[in-house]
Amino acid sequence: MRIHTLAKRVGIDPDTVRFYEARGLLPQPRRLPNGYRDYDDADVQRLHFIRHCRALEMPLEEIQALLRVWEGTPSRHRDVHALIRAQQQRVRERLRALRALERQLQALLARCQHGPQQEPTGRCRVLDALAHDLCEASCGARHASPVSQSR
């Protein structure tokens, strides 16, 4: 089958197929006399495997390691479990970071005493806080924020 047919069967873009080939996740296909790539059902199965791993947000290097085991390198279940545990840990760390991000956004929204309506002063406290936090983060400056001055 040609690349567009393969991509459609797996539910990915043909450029993604080319990317996986370039990264060594998918072997270079044989070429037809007209130069077109020719794929088979094994390529479909391999791309489904890769796609599932990517849905789990696994890094490409770890997918390559899993593919080597899946394709017949002497099965080292301990290595497979270690890779999955490492990914699980990365997901947990990301969840912690996302929860911290959510708390920061909630704190920004809490600065608005009047909700999404305009503040009586005409200034938006969320924008003031963002400007102040940005300045502190990039300049290291520690000064009173316009929010605290307007109270």
Collapse the DSSP code of 29 into the 3-class scheme (helix H, G, I; strand E, B; otherwise coil) and give the result: coil
Per-10-residue mean pLDDT of the chain, 151 residues long, equals: 96 96 94 93 96 95 91 76 94 96 88 64 77 62 46 40
Cβ neighbours of residue 14 closer than 8 Å, sequence gap 6 or more: 3, 4, 6, 7
What is the reported pLDDT for 120? 61
What is the reported pLDDT for 124? 79
Query: 24: left (phi > 0), else alpha (psi -120 to 50), else beta?
Result: left
pTM: 0.70
2 within 8 A of 38, measured Cβ to Cβ: yes
What is the reported pLDDT for 56? 95
